[in-house]
Structure 1
Amino acid sequence: MTLEIDTQKICDQLEGTDRRQKTKALEELRELLENTAVSTEEMAASFDELYLHLLKSYDDRFESVRGQAVQTVNAFLKRLPPMDFHLLNVVSTLAERMGKAETVEPSEEIRLIYIGQLHLMICQYAKMGNVGVFRECYPQVTKILIKSIKDDYPLVQREGCATFVDLAKVADTQELRPFTESLAVALYGMLNHKHAPARISAVEAIGRLSLHMDASGDGMRRLFNEVSPLLMDTMPLVRREVGQMGILMLLELLDRYSFFERILPLVLCCLKDDSPEVLSHIYPQWLKCGELYYEENEAELSKQEISDLPVENYPENVKRPTIGCRGLVQRSLRLLTLITRETSDWKDNVRLHALKLLYQFVLHAESAMTAKFFEIYGDLAHVCIDPVAEVAAEAAKVSDLLGRLLMYDAWIDHGFDGLERNARESYMRCFYYMFTSALGGTYEQLNKIAKLLRSTDYSHTLKPGFQEYILKLLDTVLDKSLKINAGQEELQELYESVYVSGIKVNALQHSLSEDVSQGKLLIERIAKLEQISVGKLHERWFHLALLDVENLDASLEDTAEPVMLLDGLINICHLRAPYMADLIKKVLLVFEHCCDSAHVKVFSSLSMASLIWSETMGIEREQSTQVLAEFVTQIVEPYLTWKAGSSAEAMRSLAMATLCALAQGAESEAVEVLPSLAKHMPSLLEDRNVTTRHYAIKAVVYFRGMSVEDLKPLAYATMQRMDDPSAGIRSLAALAVGKLKPKFKEDSEEESQHEKEVWESFVKRAMDLLLLYHESPEKDIKAAVERTLKELAQSHPEAWEERYKRALAMVQKKDKLSELYEKLTIKDEANEVTES
């Protein structure tokens, strides 16, 4: 078919003013070009006659005409061979419409068509291998691209980026380089675009641009600084494009060896990305980068490959990078400084990003970065206690990996040095993660750690997080002790230090109301290794921990570390014979020098520990009695006498509580020790502090084996407590009266009879009072009275008959009393029948 184009008619129509006529003419011409086969010569001849009118229509006042004009020219360009003449004319026209500082073309859609036409020409000319014709119009093309990249319409921006990408793929670097800086500045402005596709297009364009930039200037440095923040973009595809840019530079950038330290982060970050689509896209290409590097450095890397085996404790479920990929990273160790600097950034996401990058760096660098450990130790330690849990967890992963991959003998001394110089939780955590994951650990090193943790800088800390990791590290020491060659004496010395460190930390945890289960498990584990009970372990080494409780000769509050340590040790290990003398000395120091709150705290713990005296003392009764007597004489008795003041009142109450606890916890020993304290009881039973009276009335029943003369003041003081303001004490007093039993003299019958008469007198007095209280409306005291009257009626039947008859004549409710009498009598008879 022959192409029949009436060029004159079309020209006349385009010169007219009728919009519909011009639009129709252009549409018909475009359709004719697209649907008719024609020779190149005929096509070129028609275009030569029409191009001036077509290009002039780019400036038509009607938008539809301008749009059809561009589309028609596109139809010509798609079928014409590349010619400088056509290219220059079209580009010049586009530059007039889109290459100026001001926006000439008001329509966003038309601007999109304009930049699309430039893109078309670049693609067409590239196909024909004739892109060199662009060299004369690069200034105009650059202006068009910059204007499109800065356009307000996102589609125009993205098309501008795509156009440049295709141009950069085929352009000569020397010809394009003069324009790269201005293009780069325009593209940087798109990196913060609110639309993710726009950011992706910009990164792709910048990646291509980097291949043509001057590596000797500041342009490349700025390029990395501008793009790097997008590694933390919220959209995975943006992060992936940044990684793709790094891959492109590693494969094609001529001067890439000079920029490995800046390029590698772009790729390594994607290898630790949370999104699978990022990792799956970048990882295969990263392997290609490694292959290329291996090919370029085969002579060196092939030798290394011969003995290139992974460490024994290589992290599970982690694939080891290829030797080429590792070689890429290992030649860029200076990158560490840049990474660790970011771990102290004030932004949470920046710190997290830096740690993920550091993980990949360590994974690839392996033992090659051992010498650099001292440079990152401090920064990594600091971020191990980051307030953001996710950041701290990532720091722990990095530390764990360092312990596995670095050469143990080369870093361990520096690790110790860090702990010795910086007794902080941060260094402790970092060292713990590394040391636990490492395979090494000699006896000397384990002993050194245990002794270091035993020092006051560590084991006396009041920070719960610090305490937790001290115990964890001690547990690791025990783990590693099972794998070393050491004698029994050496191991015992090691376990001794671990015990002292652990028990002190555990004691402080108790005083701080923290969970003490971790410390208890550690102590139980030491006991198992030593093949003894926990109690015996305390008896063996507790005194060593007690020696470290220092500076008690000062006015310390209950929250002071020495007081809290002593208090915790008492609560954790209780009272045991081997260290009682040392413990009493420490307690006396507290009572002599420390503040009232410290006295109360320690005394309260002693009281609680006294409840299980017979369980923890672990010695013969006679020896236990001696220890108890010493403890009561030095610790308890001085505070049983009345002294003025609220502090003295509190201590008196605690002393009475301790005495009561001892009477219950060491019942058999207390029988011999308590009588010597009877002289204090009457005043204690009348103390104005209800707590003191409460403990005193509870302790009264344990005063046994005393003569009538010694017991009499105590008995009458007890009986008076049935008038106490406190209902609870009245009930206890009613019960206690029936349990008081003297020991009568057997030497002389006359004296024995006299004592029995004296005690009978007390019993009658007590019965009178009990019968009086039986009329009380209080159920508790009434029940206590009945219980005590039953005991007294059985032990003193004649006195009971006498006091009953006396009371029957005096009371108003005789029926109630008779009922009580019958009740007690019936029970007594029933008991007699049962016994017989």
Structure 2
Amino acid sequence: MAEEEDALGDRRRAAEVAQALSCHLNSLREPTRETRLRALAGLRAEVQEQPLAASVLQEVFAKQLLRPLVRCLVADPAERCRELALQLTRYGLSHGTQPAEALPCLLPALAQRLCPQQQGQEPCEELRLGLLQLLCLLLQLCGGLALTPYLPEITRILQATLLDSYPEIKRESCRGAAACAQAMPEHFHMQSESLIKPLMQTISHQHFRVRVAVIQATGTVIQVGNGKSVDDVLSHLAQRLFDEIPQVRQAVTSVIGEWLLHLRDRYSYFHKLIPLLLSSITDEMPETKELAQNYWKRVGLQWEKENEEDIKDKLDFYAAPSHYPKGVVQPKLGCRELVIRNLSKILPAVCNDLTDWVEGTRIKASQLLFILLLHAEDHITQHMELLLRTLYRVCLDEESNVVQNCVKAAELIGTFVNPQVSLRLIMSALKKTPMPSYLMVLAAVIKGCPRQVFQPHLAYLANTISEPEICQRSDEVFYMEQLLSCVEALIDVCQEDCKAVSLQLLKVLVTIMAIPRADHLHQRAMNSLAEAQHLGGFIDLYKQHMDQLMAWVSVSHDRWNCYCPELLQLDVIVTHSGPVIGEALQGFVLILKNCLQPTKDPPMRLKLFTILSQLLQKAKQTINSQGQFHSYLEIVIKDILAPNLQWQAGRTAAAIRTTAVSCLWALIYSEMLSPKEIFKVEEVLMPPVVATLEEDSKMTRLMACRIVSIFLNSCGKQFEPDKLNKIYPELLKRLDDASHEVRLAAAKTLISWFKCIRNDDNEKSVFKTNIEFLYRELLIHLDDPDENIQQAVLDVLKEGSILYPDLLAKEIEAVEHKHRIPAYCDQLLQHIQATGCRTSGS
């Protein structure tokens, strides 16, 4: 009875409201804007501002208000009127009891005002947004049964509004698309594909909030609708993983994660969705990374439950590898199985992206490759050819991040793949075409391999990389750096086991050092190799293998030229082994004797003489460290130095003579040639050394002067007159040398020359004419513009005055008046007189 009374009361109240509204509704047809606005204000006062029951409002709204308001929304020219009509319509729908009754009237109007292809589209952006919000309200309030007949019209509206120029409308459209899918899940799949194209056209909008909304809407539309659309959107979603805004990347991660968990035919798309989710695990933002990891764990656990029977044995008996990479947590079994079962479909696409022209794509692909291999474990083996082929190419990438990630991936190959397989493939490729990237991959594989697993393959690998076809194949520094990385990886992994291949590794290191611009690379590896064998340092390495190294480089020394790698290797061995070379003189001197003959390649001889000169300058620390070099002096002087001091045409020949003179000077300066030994070799060496006084090289002339001086001092008065007479003219010429140092050296050598003449009448008579000539020439130089030269020449004349003082005095008197500075002539006369007085007195 009470319910009947309430219903009767509602009808009376509805009739009263209807009567109150009628006059305002009539005014809505008036042409003046102000009248229509007053009418709409009156309607709002009666409907919104008065407390009406929902049933009353529904009856009034459906029977009296809806159509006039819709007509106003569609046709009223005044924007304010349309706005008030929209507010009233929204109020009526949200507070009424049966909003679905408005659909037949309202949806065509919304389509007319929101679709650009319809005449009468709403020009105001804010009102278009309001109309779209009204549509979303209908989707929330009305049941799927009521909405289903209007699904084509609703999707047509959403297709249009998704492409609207107003960003807020785009976002609201995305919410509307998701609401439409959720409101009609049984029927939405028939229209879902029509929304994919406009969504994808909007997914790259400049506003990141729009991009986020589009991604979220896409996830719902496909998950509720037709799963076949996954193929249409994957490339767009993958591109959004490169978005600079973290919220966008998180949205993609959430959508992919939800699809992997809930998409109806997700098993068909695992191989396409897994790479996207795993890519997010490497995201730079911790929040995105954690979100992806949580989704991936859930996906793996769900797959385990769904396939428990298939993996029962693995769940019960699987044991994790004992040599798992440090600091890395092993993924769950379900996650690993998902990757393993889809790797054959995923890996080719990842390898293709690794060579993409876009840098960001290559970086993402390289990060993903590491994660995939970490999951695949020993199942990597069946994909080795594709993997290695890709890594060889990608390790030459200009982007360091790509290379670093690929090297980490290659280390996993070493961890999980049997070395017998991986090394066979890598070494086969390396022998055919040695490339730096091949060595880079090899070093990474070695580094990732456990010591006990790699040990049986150590000798094979060390022997192979020490072969000339590999270690001498290129003189490129980058190639040598990677070769060094292989040696360092071997030492680091194998430790004491390297003692068995110490010689092979040392050969590789010597070869690396022998390459110009690469000699800086060796020191760390040398010390590591020595430490692995508990040696004191790299010198001990040379001591351990010196004889083998000398035999190794000298095998083909009869055919050497300046381009032979063995020549450069010899340089490294003898100059870096310090005192150890003093224990291998026999082999070293034999190489010098054979290779320094005048008939051999001149540039090669020049290089060898340079090496010998460097060693002789530090003889006690190098070739004479054991005091044995004296045993080879005769060979060095007569068979090596003397032939190369002979004059030959050409700049290279001149350079050889310079280094030969330098070697001779180093021998003398280091006191390895005693006066007695100098006297023995004087006859062989003096003529060619005197000849080098005419060389173009200032240093050659200077050293030649000094060497002649030492020969004269050592042999003294034992020189025959003919020899002495051949020497002084050459020394006299050097007093006119362009070099001040050479002139001074020549003057000092002339002092030694005078000392070689005995001061007795028989001896002197042989030299009288020569001495007279020397006096005259020296007196000319006594008036030299340079004071130092004058003093040096004065010292020469003082020494020479002992022989014929009277003759010299006459010569002085004859030229003294011509000198600009006669003081030196006076000093010389005083010296002669003083010497004569002392002689007569005695």
Task: State which drifts further: 152-161 or 18-27.
Answer: 18-27
Alpha-carbon offset, residue 493 of structure 1: 5.0
The residue correspondences of 1:605-624 to structure 2 (distance < 5 A) are 605-618=611-624, 624=629
Q: Is the 8 A contact 2:175 2:217 kept in 1?
A: yes
Corresponding position: 1:248 with 2:297: no
C-alpha displacement of 1:150: 1.2
CA distance in 2, matches of 1:527, 1:569: 20
- Using the TM superposition, give the Cα deviation of residue 528 of structure 1 relative to its aligned residue in structure 2, in angstroms: 5.5
CA shift at 1:95, angstroms?
A: 1.1
TM-superposed deviation, 1:184: 0.8
Cα RMSD of the aligned pairs, angstroms, is 4.0
1:737-748 residue pairs with structure 2 within 5 A?
Answer: 737-738=750-751
Could you tell me how far 1:467 is from its partner in structure 2?
0.7
Q: Which residue of 1 aligns with 2:839?
A: none
CA deviations on 1:454-503 (whole Å, 9 max, x unpaired) are 1123211211112112122212323344354xxxxxx6551111111211
Structure-2 separation of matches of 1:202 and 1:824 = 114
- The answer to whether the 8 Å contact 1:464/1:514 transfers is no
Q: Tell me, in whole angstroms, the C-alpha distance in 2 between the residues paired with 1:251 and 1:316.
A: 31
Mapped pair 1:496 → 2:503? yes
Provide the aligned length of Structure 1 versus Structure 2: 797
Supply the AA of the counterpart residue of 1:54. Answer: L
What one-letter code is carried by the residue in structure 2 that aligns with 1:351? R
Matched, 1:182 2:197: no
Distance 1:272 1:527 in 2: 41
Following the alignment from structure 2 to structure 1, what is the Cα–Cα distance between the partners of residues 791 and 239? 81
Contact 1:551 1:562 in 2 (8 A): no
Q: 1:455 to 1:407 in 2, by over 3 A?
A: closer
Q: Normalising by structure 2, what TM-score?
A: 0.83
C-alpha distance in structure 2 between counterparts of 1:24 and 1:780, whole Å: 121
Seen in structure 2, the aligned counterparts of structure 1 residues 259 and 647 have a Cα distance that, compared at 3 Å, is: same
Instruction: Give SS of 2:138's match.
Output: helix
CA spacing shift, 1:13–1:526, aligned 2, 3 Å: same
In 2: Cα distance, 1:801 partner to 1:26 partner = 143
Give the gaps of 5 or more residues in structure 2: 1-9, 835-842
Query: Relative to structure 1, is the Cα distance of residues 86 and 519 closer, same or farther in structure 2, using a 3 angstrom cutoff?
Result: same
Deviations 1:694-725 (A, max 9, x none): 44234334436434125663455334312212
5 Å matches for 1:157-556?
A: 157-172=170-185, 174-215=186-227, 219-301=229-311, 303-306=313-316, 310-334=320-344, 335-406=346-417, 411-440=422-451, 441-460=453-472, 461-484=474-497, 493-509=500-516, 516-518=522-524, 521=527, 529=535, 533=540, 535-537=542-544, 539-547=546-554, 552=559
Cα distance in 1, alignment partners of residues 573 and 123 from structure 2: 83
**Cα distance between partner residues in 2 of 1:717 and 1:82:** 128
Q: How much has 1:307 moved relative to structure 2?
A: 5.1
Check the 8 A contact 1:610/1:665 in 2, yes or no: yes
TM-aligned CA distance change 1:807 to 1:397, over 3 Å = farther
1 CA distance for matches of 2:653 and 2:378? 66
Q: Residue 40 of structure 1 aligns with which residue?
A: 54
| Contact 1:453/1:459 (<8 A) preserved | yes
| Contact 1:705–1:742 (Cα < 8 Å) also in 2 | no
Partner of 1:667: 672
The DSSP-based 3-state class of the residue aligned with 1:76 is helix
2:36 aligns with: 22
Measure the CA separation in 2 of the matches of 1:588 and 1:439: 49
Distance 2:273 2:737 in 1: 87
Distance 1:377 1:752 in 2: 90
CA distance in 2, matches of 1:692, 1:735: 16
**Other-structure match for 2:3:** none
Q: Displacement, 1:675?
A: 4.8
1:766 Cα shift? 7.4
Q: Aligned AA for 1:181?
A: E
* Matches for 1:46-85 after TM superposition, within 5 Å: 46-48=60-62, 49-59=64-74, 60-85=76-101
Whether the 8 Å contact between 2:181 and 2:225 is mirrored in structure 1 is no
Paired residue for 1:580? 588
| AA matched with 1:452 | T
CA 1:676–1:608 in 2, change beyond 3 Å: closer, same or farther?
Answer: same
User: How far apart, in 2, do the equivalents of 1:685 and 1:676 lie?
Assistant: 16
Shift of 1:593: 6.7
Superposed displacement of residue 146, structure 1:
0.8
Deviation at 1:222, TM superposition (A): 2.7
- Residue 832 of structure 1: aligned partner: none
| Residues 1:7 and 1:693: Cα distance change in structure 2 (over 3 Å) | same
Deviation at 1:111, TM superposition (A): 1.9
Distance 1:516 1:693, change over 3 A: farther
SS in 2 for 1:167: helix
Taking the aligned partners of 1:273 and 1:165, their CA distance within structure 2 comes to 27
- 1:830 aligns with none
C-alpha distance in 2, partners of 1:722/1:606? 31
Report the residue type matching 1:504 in the other structure.
Answer: T
Question: Which letter maps to 1:497?
Answer: Q
User: How many Å separate the matches in 1 of 2:594 and 2:530?
Assistant: 26
Moved more, 63-72 or 448-457: 63-72
- Conserved 8 A contact 1:451-1:497: yes
| Rounded Cα–Cα distance in structure 1 between residues aligned with 2:261 and 2:178 | 17
- Contact 2:115 / 2:157 at 8 angstroms: preserved in 1? yes
How far the C-alpha of 1:687 sits from its partner, in A, is: 2.8
Q: 1:619 to 1:713 in 2, by over 3 A?
A: farther
Contact in 1 for aligned 2:690/2:727 (Cα 8 Å)? yes
Change over 3 Å in CA distance of 1:423–1:168 after alignment to 2? same
2:647 maps to amino acid = W
1:131, distance to aligned residue in structure 2 (A)? 2.5
Q: Which deviates the most, 311-320 or 34-43?
A: 311-320
Residue matched to 2:838: none
| CA shift in 2, pair 1:677/1:244, >3 Å | same
Instruction: Select 1:693's aligned residue among 687, 701, 704.
Output: 701
Distance 2:87 2:556 in 1: 92
Larger mean CA deviation between 697-706 and 269-278 belongs to: 697-706
2:759–2:803 Cα contact (<8 Å) kept = no
The 5 Å alignment of 1:619-638 reads 624-638=629-643
Flag the 1:46–1:550 CA change in 2: closer, same or farther, 3 A: farther
Task: Give structure 1 stretches of 5+ with no counterpart.
Answer: 485-490, 745-749, 827-836
Q: Is the 8 A contact 1:471 1:522 kept in 2?
A: no
Q: Shift of residue 253 of structure 1?
A: 0.5
Give the direction of change, closer, same or farther, for the CA distance of 1:493–1:400 in structure 2 (3 Å limit): closer
Distance of 2:403 and 2:125 partners within structure 1? 49
Choose 1 or 2 for highest CA Rg.
2
**Contact 1:639–1:652 at 8 Å: present in 2 too?**
yes
- For each residue in 1:381-432, what CA deviation from the matched residue of structure 2 results, as whole angstroms up to 9, or x when unmatched? 3212212222212222222344335555654444444444442111111121
Cα 1:73–1:690 change in 2 (3 A) is: same
Aligned equivalent of 1:641, options 637, 646, 654: 646
Q: Relative to structure 2, which stretch is displaced further, 333-342 or 598-607?
A: 598-607
The answer to whether structure 1 residue 724 and structure 2 residue 732 are counterparts is no
Q: Quote the Cα distance in structure 2 between the aligned partners of 1:35 and 1:779.
A: 122
Distance 1:92 1:562 in 2: 91
* TM-score with structure 1 setting the length: 0.84
**CA distance in structure 2 between the partners assigned to 1:50 and 1:191 by the alignment:** 39
How many angstroms apart in 2 are the aligned matches of 1:551 and 1:682? Answer: 31
Q: Distance in 2 between matches of 1:71 and 1:560?
A: 93
CA contact (8 A) 1:27 1:72 kept: no
